[in-house]
Amino acid sequence: EHRGPLIVDRPKLRDVSNMAVNPYSLKALEEEKLQELHDCNRMLEEQKALKKEAKAMPKAKGRAKGKAKAAPKAK
């Protein structure tokens, strides 16, 4: 019944005071954010492709459009 990624296996929120002292954890956080950004962009591209396919196939239009909209937003 649980949808989406499990929050349990995410790394614990980093201590902000720690980050100021340790530039390595800051770098890791930046890389993590960049990775999330890439994932979001990739999902957007996939959605665009789905919509193009839906326009190309008028017969299956309803289903293809529904699938494109049903894709979950990554946060």
- Along the 75 residues of the chain, how does pLDDT read in single tens digits? 556 655 555 555 555 555 555 666 778 888 889 999 999 899 999 999 988 888 877 665 555 555 555 556 665
Please choose, from the candidates 36, 37, 64, the residue with its C-alpha nearest in 3D space to the C-alpha of residue 50: 64
Give the pLDDT score at 25: 73
Domain boundaries in the chain? 16-70
Q: 72 to each of 1, 3, 24, 43, 54, how far by Cα in Å?
A: 16, 10, 32, 9, 18
